[in-house]
Amino acid sequence: MKADDYVKSAVRDFEDKPGKTLWIPLPASKRVKRLLVLGSSKGPISAADFRKIIQAATVQLKSAQFRSATLDLEAFSVADQDGYQTTRLATAIISAGLYRFDAPKQDEQPPSRLNRIVLHVDGRSRASAARAVRHANALDAGMAFARDLGNQPPNVCNPTYLARQARSLARAEKTSCKVIDERQIEALGMGAFMSVTRGSDTPGKLIIVEYRGGKRGEPPIALIGKGITFDTGGISLKPGPAMDEMKFDMCGAAAVLGCARAVIDAKLPLNLVAVVAAAENMPSGKASRPGDVVTTLSGQTVEILNTDAEGRLVLCDAITYTERYKPKVVIDVATLTGACIIALGSHASGLFANDDALANDLLKAGDFIGDRAWRLPVWEDYQSALKSNFADMANIGGREAGAVTAACFLARFTRKLRWAHLDVAGSAFSGGAAKGASGRPVPLLFQYVLDQA
């Protein structure tokens, strides 16, 4: 039987729908050993169906025992997308799906790894496909960097480790890294930051990575990440079940460093500042107490009603510090509130902003790359929940609208800035059997920065 007839016979009863797959072993005489048939539909397919198709293919590729594969992108026509967009989307899905963390296990042999994927495109699309692959490879490096940071155990990934990893980025051209220690943090007047890190024996760090790919003096895009490398809740101690997942409380920091890695690798022609507020939130004789009042770098005072609302305390001082770079925009990223998980689950990150154009650009970037966000309000109406009898504000606003009042707290430090806040508490990591860092929102952030470039 000829190879073509053999394939036709094999697919005769195949259910040709997005998400369905079929392996066909080919004759030994053929250079291609196996053919993976992907279900589709007639005519142009939607971006959602294309995602489903590529995700199904990735599941099969991850378990396959071979080193290379070829994906025929010419076989797909995706509605409202050109070759560049289709290539970017396919490669983003594949690279995210093929990620593996080299966990420190002694009883497990590493699986055979697919390490090369060839994309087949029409010759007329070669230039745009090459550009898409270049951007995809940069995003893949940034995603892996962020996920590796998130997946490290908390006895490895502490503020000092984050600083060391950030310094590794400064080996690239046009890139530098500065690390500010606790003595300097206190001298600067970052009382909110110090109220969190003081309870830990592991010193906190403010980490700044600068990439200067744009013109001298051009305002940078500033990304700020919450880097709580372990969050016990402090004196307001968290319950024991699932506390191990609090190692993921630095995934905001991992995301901004991962985005910086992607921007550096892609050599984008703009300026970027990535700021990481890194600390542990631990209970001790030096830890903050509920009822303490601290003075922030901005001069505003905060009554700490709950020491488990610590992310906003390190972030508010980091936001004020970032003003000195005169940024074009500021985007902070944090696993900030459980309330955001209740509101949006794991499918979308919560987006808050004081600038409609910035919010729309971020939403558009997320929709394109499949790393979506949903905008929630930071209306003045919610600010009354933060009222304190003893300070300019309290650090929590009660049970209602917890994600919103947390964003409203941060908004008090952004009056001079075009600002957006991404609450990634539900999207940055998974629990249960699939436990691990997702790398989100690196795709959204990188796509946004790419669009600006």
Phi (first) and psi of residue 222, to 5 degrees? -110, 130
Q: Tell me the pLDDT tens digit for each residue of 256-276.
A: 999 999 999 999 999 999 999
Measure Cα distances from 291 to 190, 304, 306, 336, 387 in Å: 18, 5, 8, 21, 14
Spatial CA neighbour of 308 closest among 288, 293, 294: 288
Residue 14: the pLDDT is 84
Let me know if 301 is exposed, middle or buried by CB neighbors in 10 A (0-12, 13-18, 19+). middle
Share of the chain above pLDDT 90, in %: 73
Q: The tokens 């004759």 sit on which residue?
A: 27
Longest dimension (CA), the chain: 85
Concerning whether 52 is annotated as a catalytic residue, the answer is no
Range scoring the smallest mean pLDDT among 50-64, 148-162, 393-407: 50-64
The yes-or-no answer on residue 17 being catalytic is no
Alpha carbons 396 and 306: distance in angstroms, whole number: 7
Say yes or no to pLDDT of 1 above 50: no
Half-sphere exposure of 204 (CA within 13 A, CB side): 32
32 versus 292: which is more confidently predicted? 292
pLDDT (tens digit per residue) in 208-235: 999 999 999 999 999 999 999 999 999 9
Q: Please count the CA atoms within 13 angstroms of the CA of 92 that sit on its side-chain side.
A: 27
Per-residue b or e along 410-430, where b marks 16 or more CB atoms closer than 10 Å to that residue's CB: bbbbbeebbbbbbbbbbbbbe
Q: Do 337 and 428 form a contact (C-beta atoms < 8 A)?
A: no
Return phi, psi of residue 203, to 5°. Answer: -70, 145
The number of residues making up the chain comes to: 453
Q: Which of 88, 205, 261, 312 is catalytic?
A: 312
Beta carbons of 73 and 40 less than 8 angstroms apart = no
For residue 217, what are the CA distances in angstroms to 212, 237, 263, 270, 416? 10, 45, 18, 11, 19
Choose, from 62, 167, 238, 418, the residue flagged as catalytic: 238
Q: Please report where in the chains the tokens 């892609």 appear, as a residue.
A: 266
SS3 of 335-397: the string is CCCHHHHHHHCCCCEEEEECCHHHHHHHHHHHHHHCCCEEECCCCHHHHHHHCCCCCCEECCC
Peptide bond into 25 cis (omega under 30): no
Using CA atoms, how far apart are residues 417 and 145, in angstroms rounded to an integer?
A: 29
Per residue in 344-354, pLDDT (tens digit) is 999 999 999 99
CA 14 to chain centre: 37
Q: What's this model's pTM, rounded to 2 decimal places? A: 0.93
3 state SS of 272: strand
Is residue 113 scored above 90 in pLDDT?
no
Instruction: State the Cα–Cα distance between residues 197 and 203, nearest whole angstrom.
Output: 7
The pLDDT, as a whole number, for residue 68 is: 86
Structure tokens at 138: 């940069």
Amino acid letter for position 349: S
- Using DSSP bridges, classify how beta strands 21-25 and 293-295 pair: parallel, antiparallel or unpaired: unpaired
pLDDT recorded at residue 108: 61
Q: If you average pLDDT over residues 76-99, what whole number do you get?
A: 88
Q: How confident is the model at residue 82 (pLDDT cuts 50, 70, 90)?
A: confident
Residue 2 reports pLDDT greater than 80? no
What average pLDDT does this structure show over 422-430?
Answer: 97
What is the average pLDDT value for the chain, to the nearest integer? 93
